[in-house]
Amino acid sequence: MSLFHAIFSSVATLLVISVVGFFILKRKILPEQIIQSLSPLVLEVALPCLVFYNIVTQFNPLEYAGWYQLPLWWLGFTCCSLLLSILFRSVARKDIRREFSMSLFYQNGIFVPVAVLTGMYPGDPTHTVNLFLLMMFYPAFIFNTYSLFFMNRVEKMNWRRTFNSVFIMTVLAILIRLSGTEVFIPGFMLSMFKMLGGLTIPLIMIILGGSLYIDWHNRSRVHGLEVAKFVGVKNIAYPLIFLGLIYLVKPPFPVALLIFIESAVPPISAVPIFIRRAGGNHSVTNYFVVASFVFSLVSIPIMFILFSRMYM
């Protein structure tokens, strides 16, 4: 299977699941209120189980001696991404610049990369485990910083969100592997973690499709020009800029691969929820997210062809 086809199929699968979520609400199979209830289920149960299972069963610190440096690479990526989101915010219409820059900044750091890595390396979970180590601080970072884009709604540090389930399970899984005590975990417990973790990506894409239906049902305005600007910046400019930075810095391949994926993926699907909480225009961000997802069917495979010529 070609690289283009493998990545295209992975992203297309996610989009089809989001379409299912759209029609689940459209056909009244589930009430609209269920969308708000599903998000905590993903973040507090399914995703922590997914991370724990993969690290406990696949993480081997001897195979990649620099694994502990991965969070520092994430910090460097985040600083660069923040700078770009500030620079590109002037591209957007003045009344939605905060929504524009926030959607640029918070990428879909886990769900889409997992799908892409699975498509690129079927049967080899090494890069997926590295992804979880790279992004171990990302959920806490999002929860404690998103309100800063709307300075009139700055929230206090939430320690429960800082030491969230994903972070706790990541640290616990690392300690178990470093101590060699994973052999004492019963098989049925690992099976339970695997099954619950498998719900993560389907649920998050159903949430995205359901959120789109709610906006469509309410006939919210479609900001065509602003959406086109966003896709041009997020799906094309971002990965090309980071490709140049990777070429200059020349990090190890596992790091370069993950950083480039993070630069090429669409926004995290929870951005509209965060913007709604902060009092912003969540409707336009829904269109940002969906348009970026759809365009990523083509943009991510093409960008990886460019990346492969550099590294692979």
% of the chain surpassing 70 pLDDT? 93
Contact call for residues 160 and 135 (beta carbons, < 8 A) = no
Q: How far is residue 154's CA from residue 128's CA, in Å, rounded to a whole number?
A: 34
Q: What's the structural domain count of the chain? A: 1
What is the per-residue DSSP string for 295-310? Answer: HHHHHHHHHHHHHHHH
Copy the structure tokens of residue 27.
Answer: 């056909």
Strand (E) or helix (H) holding 286: helix 282-311
What are the pLDDT digits (tens) for 34-80?
777 787 888 889 989 999 999 999 898 887 778 889 999 999 999 99
What are the pLDDT digits (tens) for 226-256?
899 999 999 999 999 999 999 999 999 999 9
Across all residues in the chain, what is the average pLDDT?
Answer: 86
Q: Which pLDDT band, with edges at 50, 70 and 90, does 133 fall under?
A: very high
CATH number at residue 47: 1.20.1530.20
Its domain, for residue 119, covers: 3-311
Q: How far is residue 61's CA from residue 129's CA, in Å, rounded to a whole number?
A: 11
Q: Which pLDDT band, with edges at 50, 70 and 90, does 310 fall under?
A: confident
